[in-house]
Amino acid sequence: MIDISQINYIKAKKGFICDMDGVLYHGNKLLDGVKDFYNWLSDNGKDFLFLTNSSERSPKELKQKLARLGLEVDEKHFYTSALATANFLKSQCPGGRVYAIGEAGLVNALYDAGFTIDKHNPDYVVLGETRTLNYEMIERATLLVRRGAKLIGTNPDTTGPTEKGLVPATRALISPIEMASGKTAYFLGKPNPLMMRIGLKMLGCSNQDTCIIGDRMDTDIIAGIESEIDTALVLTGVTDMENINNYPYKPMFILDGVGDISNK
């Protein structure tokens, strides 16, 4: 599928932006070849960032999760859509109020950015991945948006990979609020160029010296293409060879998994 000259081209990059879900793990299962790939990054002094559209966990929690799976990674190597969302809202409305629907990673990022939680008169309704969404939350969010609160999604993913299979993600969860309020959400996270620019700044690398590795054509690969970053699609997550042709663009490289980089 990929020859040694292409692998060597990827290996020559100084920086790597890697998705997590579907690239490093499915749920609580570390994928084959990931340890070898991580060791290769570390041993060769590569700059790398694990940049995830998931808003559930903070960098500290992601560090702890990977440690449970057998990888010791410093917090500085993580950036999430929750952090991107909080930073964006801070630039738009410092000290504002939000009604947040999501897990601790999102709520804590908003608190750290100076926002207060307000269920009655918020400036924004913000939704990220959550397993506790219910009708009451959808109803409240819809009414708040209809009264003038701006609707924000942490990422545009409709599904996310788990060890059980694909499950609903932010775009799917926020759609009832969009439909009932008549308002369209603004999404942070990939492929939003704001997140990619932050990722490059954190790496300290130019786009020409960087490769983005992901499992999704509609977020990871298009984010790289639109940011002029070389792209590598792995087939360990959402996208398989059968649906690549559903998109009017293609990745530069296709890998069975990240282990292809370190093991060839």
- Give the residue numbers annotated as catalytic, written as ranges: 19, 21
Residue ranges with strand state E in 95-222? 97-101, 116-117, 124-127, 150-153, 159-162, 165-168, 186-187, 210-214
- Closest to 188 in 3D by CA, of 57, 86, 60: 86
CA gap 71, 177 in Å, rounded: 38
Place of tokens 């601790």: 104
160 sits in the region (left: phi over 0; alpha: psi -120 to 50; else beta) called beta
Distances (CA, A) of 123 to 10, 104, 149, 168, 192: 44, 20, 5, 26, 21
CA gap 88, 79 in Å, rounded: 14
φ, ψ dihedrals at 197, nearest 5° = -65, -40
Tell me if 60 sits within 8 A of 87, measured CB to CB.
no
Sort 46 into a burial class: Cβ within 10 Å, 0-12 / 13-18 / 19+. Answer: middle
Contacts (Cβ under 8 Å, ≥6 apart) of 79 = 49, 50, 51, 52, 59, 195, 198, 199, 202
